[in-house]
Amino acid sequence: MEEMIKTFLRCSIKSDFNGFNFEEFFDEFMPILHEVLTRHGLTTFEDYMQWMQDMGDYSDADLEKYTLETDYVYYGPQQVREAIMKGQFEACKKVFHSTFSDLEELHKKLMRYSTELPLKDKIILFDECIHAQHCNGSVLDNLNESIDDIKEEIDQEYAEGRLS
């Protein structure tokens, strides 16, 4: 991801995007953004439940003490898990909606992304992705450098005449 950002910035300085693969970047960025929104309860409840289960939260043994079984009612570990997750999901939505509304909007744009977009629109969409990381700081958790540091590095390359 970091190398793609650097390549984009180099292309931007040269005003030549022939060497940049927008589709590869958006294909890689989209699931990362989706995961960020999911863990903050801003996609579907099903996505949130799956993410929580993938994280290993709430094993059946942990939930056994909350189960209920009578002749008429069965409230097992799965029902307890769903009730807890539903409460967490609703709480997350309330807490994070305003904080991440810009990411939700970006997610919608990426969902509608088409390879047929004009170059100008692809550049703007890429810039929005980078802006989301720059402002929010929690989309691309695996970056070794901040966006500012990456930009500074590319600007230094340009100043030293190392961009060809």
Cα(151)–Cα(81) distance, integer angstroms: 45
Q: How confident is the model at residue 138, as a pLDDT?
A: 66
Q: Identify the residue whose tokens are 């190392």.
A: 162
Q: State the maximum Cα–Cα separation within the chain, in Å, rounded to a whole number.
A: 80
pLDDT at 8: 93
Amino acid letter at 157?
E
pLDDT, tens digit only, all 164 positions of the chain: 889 999 999 999 989 999 899 999 999 999 888 888 887 788 888 888 777 777 766 677 778 888 888 899 998 888 888 888 888 888 888 877 777 778 888 888 888 888 888 999 999 999 988 887 756 656 777 778 888 888 899 899 888 888 76
Q: At what angle do helices 77-96 and 45-54 cross, to 10 degrees?
A: 110
Task: Spell out the alpha helix ranges (H) of the chain.
Answer: 2-14, 22-39, 45-54, 60-63, 77-96, 101-111, 119-136, 147-159
Residue 136's pLDDT is: 62
What's the confidence (pLDDT) of residue 11? 92
How many angstroms separate the Cα of 123 from the Cα of each of 23, 35, 131? 11, 23, 12
Domain locations along the chain: 1-40+100-164, 54-98
Residue 163 φ/ψ region, left for φ over 0, alpha for ψ in the -120 to 50 degree band, beta for the rest: beta
Judge contact between 89 and 97, C-beta under 8 A.
no
Sign of CA dihedral 34, 35, 40, 45: positive
